[in-house]
Amino acid sequence: MKPYSRRDFLRAIGWGTLAASGAGSVWGAPIHEGSSIIEAGKNISRGGPAFLEDGVVVQPRREIPVLRETDVLVVGGGTAGVVAALAAARAGVRVTLVERYGCFGGLWTAGLVLIVLSTHVRAGGKHQKMVYGIGDEMLARIAAIRHGAVNYGADSTQDATTDPEVTKYVMAGMLREAGVDILLNSWVTNAVMDGNVIRGVLFESKSGCLAVKAKQVVDATGDGDVFDAAGAESVPHVHRIGLVHRLGNVPSSVDAKTLNLGSVTPVPDVRWVNMQGPQGDCTDIETLTQCELDGREAIWRRVKEIQESAGGEQVFVLDVASQLGVRASRTLAGTEELRLEDWKQEKQYPDVIGVGGDYSFIPGRGCSIPYGVLVPKSIDNLLAAGRCVAADNTMLNYTRLIAPCMLTGHAAGAAAALAVTSDVAPRNVGLPVLQDMLRQQKAFLG
């Protein structure tokens, strides 16, 4: 029999044309085919090593190279950041998106949190959609891909569950289509300030420490890393820190409830398992390290138990989230705060920027979100989006859900673009113009 060659394999998985053109060498190729020695290495921006002065570690004073100058800089490529970048780019300004990992989606994908909560209101046996606009378009694109989503669609009375790899792929495609300038594997470490105005950020990368200058900045890091570095007022939180995982080979014949095998995913026989985890300070590196290690051990202990139970013998750990499940760490002290009391009393906001679906606190009623929850009290040219927006201690459990993160991301991106084109600080953008812009991008404002 003829030996099965690399080309046969590539053809079998649909990469045959690439293999024939030689581009198949982009992966799996032996080193001698794929690497070459370059003339001179790049000058990495470190400014020389740090040194000890009287036992204190000192970093030398240095100039930081500016890699990009942009109109709107979005930091963090999770749900909120990706939607913000798309909203701003579609409003016609130049957008740069900086993300610390190598993919988009944050907790939704790298964190393996797969159920998109609060897109709808459920009342009187009906399931009424609230979240439209860019988030809704993203969900539709995910659902259009085979095994992209389950429980999705007008008829579904449950919340959609998405596949993380499909979501990463769709997000990257939408960003590239919109012409967003992307920097991955780039960890933002500090803000560049000019009094109360943020002019950009510094980030660490394999190319050393670099800067991006921007007219407007959106902090979508989830932890408020940028507004904290900029000196904005914020509220610290401790919350439960979990580590989510997926199980493979869970046949439908197994009693998933009794064995506690989590929830359904779009991939047959694969289930995702949430974890509550201990409470901790998510800005403390030692706490984060401990949670990663303990979380992984707990998962493997439980899987061993499952494998020792009748029906669970063939179940295996498909993957453990590469992003730790941080629920809340810092929230912005905004010019407004989303409060449970206001939702209960159906408060109407003149500056409404989106209406989310219901949640366990107040079932059967949508939640209006005002613009002020994105706007810092004292820092200019900066907006927050996603799970770090201003909310009281109960409502942060609402604003951190994936669908509300889509809404605040959408509004932050549109407002940042409007601040650029009208040359004003975000707190001074024309609200009717912003609301019109959001409606044009198909958002639902009630």
Q: Where does this chain bind ligand FAD (CB under 6 A)?
A: 75-81, 98-101, 106-108, 111, 113, 115-117, 187-188, 220-223, 225, 242, 244, 274, 325-327, 386-387, 400-402, 405
The encoded tokens of residue 43 equal 């000058």
CB of 4 to ligand FAD, least distance (A): 39
CB of 377 to ligand FAD, least distance (A): 20
Instruction: Classify burial at 199, counting beta carbons within 10 Å of its beta carbon; exposed 0-12, middle 13-18, buried 19 or more.
Output: middle
* 3-state DSSP assignment of residue 10: helix
Would you say 101 or 343 has its CB closer to ligand FAD? 101
Would you say 405 or 445 has its CB closer to ligand FAD? 405
Residue in the structure block whose two tokens are 């063939």 = 314
φ, ψ at 436 (rounded to 5°): -60, -45
In three state form, how does the secondary structure of 231-291 look? CCCEEECCEEEECCEEEECCCCCCCCCCCCCCEECCCCCCEEECCCCCEECCCCHHHHHHH
Dihedral angle computed from the Cα positions of residues 17, 20, 26 and 31, in that order, rounded to the nearest 10 degrees: 160
Would you say 24 or 78 has its CB closer to ligand FAD? 78
CB of 169 to ligand FAD, least distance (A): 15
Would you say 79 or 335 has its CB closer to ligand FAD? 79
CB of 240 to ligand FAD, least distance (A): 8
Residues in the chain: 446
CB of 100 to ligand FAD, least distance (A): 4
Report the distance separating Cα 309 and Cα 79, nearest Å.
37
Would you say 115 or 417 has its CB closer to ligand FAD? 115
Would you say 78 or 370 has its CB closer to ligand FAD? 78
CB of 244 to ligand FAD, least distance (A): 5
Dihedral angle computed from the Cα positions of residues 348, 402, 177 and 415, in that order, rounded to the nearest 10 degrees: 30
Would you say 99 or 136 has its CB closer to ligand FAD? 99
CB of 63 to ligand FAD, least distance (A): 22
